[in-house]
Amino acid sequence: MSTLTNAQLKQLRQLLNSRLTELLEEVRQEMIASGDQHYIDLAAGVMDVGDESVADMLTDMNAALFDRHIQEIRDVEAAQLRMAGLSYGACSDCGGTIEYDRLAAYPTAKRCYECQSQHEKSYAHEATPRL
């Protein structure tokens, strides 16, 4: 494990647990809200192509938000597993220490600042949409 103190680990564990609780509640609320507004309901009142595109956009936005929350839940759970396995705070790329300040700001971090910067430079093009 890294050079994190027990007090720091306890604080980070609390951050992860509270974020997981928040995310689960947000997903629950989104699922309740999505039950109230289905695509068919949105599209049922479609009068023209413009209305149809708005219905499509709203449906896609809801799905994207839901997917983002699910991915963050997976990241939190992965960080909790690393913490239980005593590898929390160790960079997954270089094996070095992830500084406490970085973990306090981003508790699910799996790379040190230098490796994360390199990763973002190397894989930045993958998020660019193409026609």
- DSSP letters, 32-50, are HHHHH--HHHHHHT--SHH
The pLDDT of residue 48 is: 66
Classify residue 86: in a domain, yes or no: yes
Which amino acid, residue 104?
A
- Are 104 and 15 in contact by the 8 Å Cβ rule? The answer is yes
The pLDDT of residue 1 is: 47
Classify residue 103: in a domain, yes or no: yes
Q: pTM for the full model?
A: 0.74
Q: Tokens 């997976």 sit at which residue?
A: 74
Helices 49-84 + 6-36 axis angle, to 10:
150
Longest dimension (CA), the chain: 62
Give the span between the Cα atoms of 53 and 59, in whole angstroms.
Answer: 10
Domain count, the chain: 1
Q: Chain-wide mean pLDDT for the chain?
A: 83
- What are the pLDDT digits (tens) for 96-127? 999 999 999 999 999 999 999 999 998 877 65
Classify residue 95: in a domain, yes or no: yes
Give percent helix, percent strand, percent coil of the chain, each to the nearest 5.
70, 0, 25
Q: With H, G, I as helix, E, B as strand and everything else as coil, classify residue 97.
A: strand
Averaged pLDDT for residues 21-47: 71
Of 45-49, 78-82, 113-117, the poorest mean pLDDT is in: 45-49
Which CATH number characterizes residue 65's domain? 1.20.120.910
Residue 127 has which token pair? 């998020």
Domain hosting 30: range is 6-127
Of 9-18, 43-52, 70-79, the poorest mean pLDDT is in: 43-52
Q: How confident is the model at residue 63 (pLDDT cuts 50, 70, 90)?
A: confident
Classify residue 1: in a domain, yes or no: no
